[in-house]
Structure 1
Amino acid sequence: MIIVKHKSTPQASFDKRYPEYKIIDVTSKAPTPFVKLSPFYPIGDIPVPLSEGHFAQSVEGIWQGLKVFETASIDLKKLEVTTMKGLKRTVRKFGNVKGHQAGVNNHNLLPYIIARKQIYLPAYRWVLDHKVSDVLQLIKNEAEQHPIILLDYETNGDVENASKPLSHAYLVKYYLENNFPV
C-alpha cells in the first residue's frame, strides 16, 4: 500500500498514525536516489511534449517554460536549467497565466487541465518510463515489506482538480499501481 502525505507533516504524527509505514521523500529536497523523482530534478533529455526535436532537463522546466502570462510568453531557457533553482515563473512577476503554449512552435494556448494532460503528464510519464526504473524498483521492493508513505509538497492526486497543483508523488503511486492517469 502506498499513500501520499505532505512533506511538512511532523514525524511524531507519522509515528503515531502510521508506525508500520516506511517514509520516502520524493521532493526536490529528498536524498539520492529519490530526488530523481522530483519534477525539478535535471534528469536530462526529456522530450518536450508537442515539440518534436526539443528536449528539456526537467519536467518542471517544460511546465514553466511553456507557460504564457499576460506580460510574458514562453521561456525556452527554463528547458535548460540544471540546478533545480530559478525554474518557477510567477503571477506576481508576470501577471495572470493565460495558458500553456501547445508546444515550442505552436502558438495555440491550452487551458490548465488540458495542458496538464498534454504536457505535464506525458513528460513525467516519460521520465518514469525511461529514466528512473531503478528508483521505482527500490520503492516496489520496500512496498513488498512495508506500506509506504511518499512525501510531497503537494497532495492533490486529482488530475481534474485545477484548484491545486498536481502531486507528482501521486503520479509515482499511480504508476506503481499501473493506474497512471491519461
Structure 2
Amino acid sequence: MLMTEKAQIEKAIQGNARAWEKLVRKHEKTIFNTSLRLTGNREDALDLTQEVFFEVYRRLPQFRHQSSFSTWVQKISYGKAIDFLRRLKPTSELKDSIMIDERTPQSQLEEREANKSILTYLSRLAPEQRLIIELKFYHDMTFQEISLEMNCSENTIKSRFYSALKKMKTKREAQNVLPKI
C-alpha cells in the first residue's frame, strides 16, 4: 500500500526516517537541477541542495498543507538560493552540464555551444539577476511573485531582469551565439 505524501510528512515529523527519505527522493532531483542552474557548478549545487533539505527538515513541523508540499519546498529552495548566491563570489567557475537529446550530432553540438554560452553569460550576471532570470524563465513566475519572494519592489525586479537581458543581448551580438530574446 502506497503512503500518501501527507502521511509521509506526518510520519517524517514524528521521526520516521524512511518517510523522510521518501520525501527527499521525490523532490531532490528538482531541487538539485534548480540549484545547478543557479550556481553553475555541481559542488555548489550539491551544497545548496543539502542546505535546502536541512531547512525543510527543520521547518517540517511548520508545514500546514496550505499549498502543495513541492511548492513549499520550492519556496524554501528560492530563499536558500538567494542566501547562497549572495555568499558566492562572482568569479565562480561554470562547469558544463548540458543535456543531450536525440537530434543529429551537428544540431546537438550547435545547441550545446549555444547553451554553454548562455550558461557562461548567466554565470557572469550578479547573483540577484541570475536568480530573477531563473525564476522568470525556468519557473514561469511573474514579476510580482518574484518581488514577493525576493523581498524587493516589483520595479527593482523588472530593472534587474531587463538589465540582465540587455547584458546577455550585448554578449550575443558580440559573439552571435544566443537566440534572439
Q: Which fold has the larger relative contact order, with Cα–Cα distance below 8 Å and residues 6 or more apart in sequence?
A: 1
TM-score under structure 1 length normalisation: 0.28
Quick check: which has more Rg, 1 or 2?
Answer: 2
Task: Give 1 or 2: higher helix fraction.
Answer: 2
TM-score under structure 2 length normalisation: 0.29
